[in-house]
Amino acid sequence: MTRSVLVTGGNRGIGLAIARELAAAGDAVAVTCRSDQAPDGLFGVKCDVTKTQDVDNAFAKVEAEQGPVEVLVSNAGITRDKLLPMMREEDFEAVLDTNLTGAYRVAKRAARNMIRARAGRIIFVSSVVAFTGQSGQANYAASKSGLVGLARSLARELSPRNITVNVVAPGFVDTDMTAGLSDQIKAAARDRIPLGRTASPEEVAGVVRFLAGPDAGYVTGTVIPVDGGLAMGL
Ligand code: NDP
């Protein structure tokens, strides 16, 4: 059955891998982009998740193109890493606004139709640092652990309407977000990962496909780490 899927930040990185994975599984997949450049073969809607009006317009376009969103993957995210003394309030707020409030905005808009339909899947892309913390990432880690509370609260609210809400928590994934890190930091990260390597975006996408698919109908309010064992035992 073809479902209407929306992936925020689906124009590149992990979001693009998720969008391609779900499209390959037969879904109609739309992605948000901040530029006019949608990836080949996917329906792109211009949207900055920090702007409520953008979110509303994007959903309206997706609804017109492929029907109300049945599967939402809230993936858009940014980092603004700085140690606390150097972290300006605007660095903190920008990361929270995109990663956490942005997720609230899209979930709220998606839930409107899902509640009516009495069905839906919402998946938030968090991070291993939600649980471990990370020096220099107080803003990012706060936003990513906030997603867990958001997801679990929504899972409770929306379960009576047959809507599941879950989180994936990737570890170190090879995308633009991590490309700028020094070789030294990358090597140190790899040393701490039990599986001894970083992840491809496709490895995260496979877990999202499971959460979006028929085998996960009884899975809600959970966090699935996709981190090579990095947060194991914490
Ligand atoms: P990238 O930097 O490669 O991509 C980020 C995506 O988010 C882009 O599509 C970007 O759009 C979009 N985005 C950022 N801000 C906004 C905004 N305000 N409105 C709409 N879209 C926005 O990152 P990744 O693919 O690596 O990360 C995807 C998600 O996975 C993020 O939430 C990240 O925190 C999380 N994650 C990543 C890990 C990693 O190691 N890479 C590890 C754990 C979690 P644009 O192209 O317009 O900039």
From first to last of its 234 residues, what are the pLDDT tens digits of the chain? Answer: 799 999 999 999 999 999 999 999 999 999 999 988 889 989 999 999 999 999 999 999 999 999 999 999 999 999 999 999 999 999 999 999 999 999 999 999 999 999 999 999 999 999 999 999 999 999 999 999 999 999 999 999 999 999 999 999 999 999 999 998 888 888 888 899 999 999 999 999 999 999 999 999 999 999 999 999 999 965
Ligand 1: centre distance to CA 77 (Å): 4
Is there an atom of ligand 1 within 6 Å of 76 CB?
yes
- The C-alpha atoms of residue 214 and residue 210 are separated, in whole angstroms, by 8
Instruction: Report the relative pairing of strands 120-125 and 28-33 from DSSP bridges.
Output: unpaired
pTM attached to this predicted model: 0.98
CA of 172 to the centre of ligand 1 (A): 13
Q: Is the CB of 58 under 6 A from ligand 1?
A: no
Which ligand 1 atom is the nearest neighbour of the CA of 98? Answer: 18
Task: Please give the DSSP secondary-structure letter assigned to residue 73.
Answer: E
Q: How many Å lie between the centroid of ligand 1 and the Cα of residue 18?
A: 12
Atom of ligand 1 lying closest to residue 54 CA: 19
Q: Which residues pair with 224 in a beta bridge?
A: 168
Radius of gyration in angstroms for the set of CA atoms belonging to the chain, rounded to a whole number:
17
Which atom of ligand 1 is least distant from the CA of 49?
19
Separation CA 76–CA 124 (nearest Å) = 9
Q: Is 97 in the pocket of ligand 1 (CB under 6 A)?
A: no
Largest pairwise CA distance in the chain: 52
Ligand 1 pocket check for 162: Cβ under 6 Å? no
140 is catalytic: yes
CA distance 143 to 50: 14
Question: Residue 144 in contact with residue 126, Cβ under 8 Å?
Answer: yes
Residue 143: predicted pLDDT: 98
DSSP strand E in 188-229: where? 223-226
ipTM above 0.85, yes or no: yes
The CATH code that applies to domain 4-225 is 3.40.50.720
Q: What pLDDT does residue 234 have?
A: 58
Residue 153 is predicted with a pLDDT of 98
Report helix, strand or coil for 134. coil
Q: Please report the atom of ligand 1 found closest to the CA of residue 33.
A: 47
* pLDDT at position 233: 63
In short, whether 34's Cβ falls inside 6 Å of ligand 1 is yes
What pLDDT, on the 0 to 100 scale, is given for residue 214?
95
Instruction: Find out whether the beta carbon of 81 lies less than 6 Å from any atom of ligand 1.
Output: no
Calculate how far, in angstroms, residue 174's C-alpha sits from the geometric centre of ligand 1: 12
Residue whose pair of structure tokens reads 């479902």 in the numeric block: 3
pLDDT value at residue 73 = 99
Does the C-beta of 50 come closer than 6 Å to ligand 1? Answer: yes
C-alpha distances (whole Å) from 231 to each of 64, 130, 172, 220 are 41, 10, 11, 21
d(CA 229, CA 123): 21
pLDDT at position 136: 95
Tokens found for residue 176: 């633009």
